Amino acid sequence: MTTNNAIELVALTKSYGDQSVLKGVDLTVPRGTVQALLGSNGAGKTTAVRILSTLLKADGGTALVGGHDVATEPAQVRASISLTGQFAAVDEVLTGRENLVMVAELRRVERPGRVADDLLARFDLTDAGGRRAGTYSGGMRRRLDIAMSLVGDPPVLFLDEPTTGLDPQSRNEVWKTVRQLAGQGTTVLLTTQYLEEAEQLADRIAILHEGRIIADGTLAELKQLFPPTTVEYVEKQPTLEEVFLAIVGDGIPRRGGGGDATSAATPAATPAATPTSDTTAREGAPR
């Protein structure tokens, strides 16, 4: 594969029993980009992420991360990724700093204390670093969780629904974090059910629906898939202004008014009907 792609999925399939969840998923994520995988609940987003992070085996197709095949080179894949799931892996009894030091020691990173302090600073958690994580807000906890997943600087980060269950303020904190990561060159595959989240964070958005990627592109490209304007003909109630103008007379041509002196002489006779048909005519109803 070309080394410019951090993630490449080709014809990926996965079933649970007789339920076919992924029916041939194709997706390419260039290095250093944020890719959103958008899909409703149960679409198969977590399944795809679990296959990419070697936690689950695919039935068919190919999945490459950093050029390594998840099926045949799982160790190399694991060395280049980090996964933050929907449910935080934070130990609530430990302080924020202790959580980070623990992960750094597990990953055999040099100078764990310094790595922890750097990450606390990067995620605006320096002041809270000495407090038990159990006292953190939802947003702080999720930020700590993402910070923990970045110990050792993995080039590819999977964020599986990072803001599901968070309040709007916490969600904004996480968004800020993801933007910072993107600015530093980390490749991020972000799953979400929220259109706005994809819109806010992603360079490219892929929509997973009924087992396949049904759309993939930048936001601008996706918007072009839809006709920009649709003309709809709607039975419209007259506004007060239109009623007013119909009663006082403003020169707007009225139904049957073409040279009909009688109706023109009695504009107040049918005030409600007149502006409705006028409005339709002005909005370009087909004749």
**Residue 24 CB, nearest approach to ligand ADP (Å):** 15
Site for ligand ADP in 44-103 (CB under 6 A): 44-47
CB nearer ligand ADP, residue 18 or residue 235: 18
CB nearer Mg ion, residue 46 or residue 53: 46
- Judged by beta carbon distances under 5 to 8 A according to partner kind, the member of ligand ADP, Mg ion, none in contact with residue 41 is ligand ADP
**Residue 176 CB, nearest approach to ligand ADP (Å):** 24
**Residue 42 CB, nearest approach to ligand ADP (Å):** 4
d(CA 111, CA 113): 6
CB nearer ligand ADP, residue 38 or residue 65: 38
* CA distances for 36 relative to 67, 97, 100, 147, angstroms: 20, 30, 27, 20
CB nearer Mg ion, residue 85 or residue 139: 85
User: What is the pattern of x (binds ligand ADP, CB under 6 A) and - over residues 200-239?
Assistant: ----------------------------------------
- Judged by beta carbon distances under 5 to 8 A according to partner kind, the member of ligand ADP, Mg ion, none in contact with residue 134 is none
CB nearer Mg ion, residue 45 or residue 142: 45
CB nearer Mg ion, residue 51 or residue 245: 51
How many residues of this chain interact with ligand ADP, rule: CB under 6 A? Answer: 10
Q: Are the C-beta atoms of 123 and 177 separated by less than 8 Å? A: yes
CB nearer ligand ADP, residue 45 or residue 254: 45
- Judged by beta carbon distances under 5 to 8 A according to partner kind, the member of Mg ion, ligand ADP, none in contact with residue 39 is ligand ADP
- Tell me the pairing of strands 68-69 and 5-16: unpaired
CB nearer ligand ADP, residue 43 or residue 90: 43
**End-to-end Cα, the chain, rounded Å:** 58
Q: Which residues bind Mg ion (CB under 5 A)?
A: 45-46
User: What is the pattern of x (binds ligand ADP, CB under 6 A) and - over residues 14-53?
Assistant: --x----x-----------------x-xxxxxxx------
3-state secondary structure the chain: CCCCEEEEEEEEEEEECCEEEEEEEEEEEECCCEEEEECCCCCCHHHHHHHHCCCCCCCEEEEEECCEECCCCHHHHHHHEEEECCCCCCCCCCEHHHHHHHHHHHCCCCCHHHHHHHHHHHCCCCCCCCCEHHHCCHHHHHHHHHHHHCCCCCCEEEEECCCCCCCHHHHHHHHHHHHHHHHCCCEEEEEECCHHHHHHHCCEEEEEECCEEEEEECHHHHHHCCCCCCCCCCCCCCCHHHHHHHHHCCCCCCCCCCCCHHHHHCHHHCCCHHHHHHHHHHCCCCC
d(CA 206, CA 179): 18
**Residue 192 CB, nearest approach to ligand ADP (Å):** 10
**Residue 51 CB, nearest approach to ligand ADP (Å):** 10
**Residue 43 CB, nearest approach to ligand ADP (Å):** 4
Q: Which residues of this chain interact with ligand ADP, rule CB under 6 A?
A: 16, 21, 39, 41-47
